[in-house]
Structure 1
């Protein structure tokens, strides 16, 4: 490895004998990724970690996430089959909102499993349905929705009659105040909820509101709304925030926006001292 020297100090900073440096990177084929420069990359001993696709490995992973739901072996096998089927469909027929093939990975699967594992709906089948729709469905165009719903019903919940499953209302969370939007309970903010006048809830807007409410009700996922200019992304978020008594802070993003603009970063102040400066999201 390396010995690090800070030239403004008298004494060099020497690495500890047990210090090891590990680096992880996505291949350049991944979206928006580039290879490390040869000058850095050739200093490492490389090995490739393949994606988890073996059925037995996936079954172990799924069983660990959903151990609290006490699912049968058939249920676990069905989820494995769903993951294989949805990845095949993504390459052949599914289309996302931008007209491209959707990208599903182990991260997408784990997000669905993490949601379902808490059983927020009070019924394992409904929690599995909501979790897998949340992760695999909302990024798609409307024509692809029925295909994914059928795969979820067939493999994940083992029930093709989704209307019967959705006929039961979701239980209201026991802690805090919540308001019901499109069948989903959203936490009420500190402000007085005021439904803005003049906002027209067309069928397509209500469909978008349902997808948004499903994700917001989970209370743990950041949400990215993607669409053309003036299709109603900002107005939908603003409407939902005011209707639930929550504060909406607007930050204009651009192609160079990074996480530091939201969270904050360390930077030098007027005196040259290194201080932490809060981001726009705080």
Structure 2
């Protein structure tokens, strides 16, 4: 694997550069006419090699659409994306080009079970990725699988299990290991810990922090939870209705937010002593 910060022997200044990103979806109306839904509009940001950027916002803000475009699962209507200095092309790509960008960017989803083959053991699912991307002998692949399992905190017994035998947190660790198998420069995590219990969530966040420190890999972390992103990210942008409304270093965004929308998100974070109030029922002292 090339050292972080270099691509093709030349020095990189940015791991990821997103410029003027716009995504429009056609929406069919009940009368048969079509309208345009602007999911993302004029979104720009950059991540330095080894950096960690959070995109936060409520459901429907456009943050996951940005993540899918960066990962190559959606095509932008306008704008450009450069990864390690290479511009991601729009439209259909050759198998070689797809593999090239897969080696640069991998994505971890909220629901790991949907991305795992229930008939495969954990070990075989990771080995399958290695077989696709690397010319390794069988013994080398098996050794690499063991290394990846250890990296995400799984043992050989869990490696021999099938996804249904694992907990949600363990399945998410498997998804992370599969993503790391191709040695990407950037890991896109789309609400990757939001479905986990708080204690398990903390364990997975610690695993991710250790991986970032050990490998120098960059993160694009998508979340609605500002309390989580503080633990893992250096920088942050806040999205609302497809637009970036705030951005900067994570400590500045969370401790001295400039946008009213950001302040509202922060005020909504539950704090010690907080208890929910049923809608329509006044809280009494």
Q: Does the TM-score normalized on the shorter chain lie above 0.5?
A: no
More strand by share: 2
TM score, norm. by length of structure 1:
0.28
For the pair shown, the structure with the greater C-alpha radius of gyration is 1
TM-score by length of 2: 0.28
